[in-house]
Amino acid sequence: MGTKSKLSVPERRKVVLSLLRREEPATVLARRYGISENTLYRWRDEFMSAGEAALANGKGKADPRDRRIAELKKELGERDKVIGELTIANRILKKTADGPY
């Protein structure tokens, strides 16, 4: 796993905005700030998704509870799927147990 960047949040914002404005290529920015291009692109993606969330919420900051709610909904969906599969398996077993004996 990579090391944590020593850049502050304002520095990260500056780098991401430079990338978005196409002031310099990603390779140059990454080299200058001592980060990988993958890290730079990940920061860009996080920056953009947080901005979209803030616009959707009509607030200055994205609500972290929204992410947690989405995670819980996904878990619930997965559990519902497992329960459904187990219910079907249980019905099949009951039908075979009630067979011609």
Tens of pLDDT, residue by residue over 30-60, are: 999 999 999 999 999 999 988 877 777 765 5
DSSP secondary structure code for residue 41 in this structure: H
More confident residue, 61 or 100: 100
Residue among 21, 12, 23 nearest 50 (CA): 12
Residue 82 has pLDDT above 90, yes or no: yes
CB 40 within 8 A of CB 16: yes
**pTM greater than 0.85 (yes/no):** no
pLDDT at 54: 73
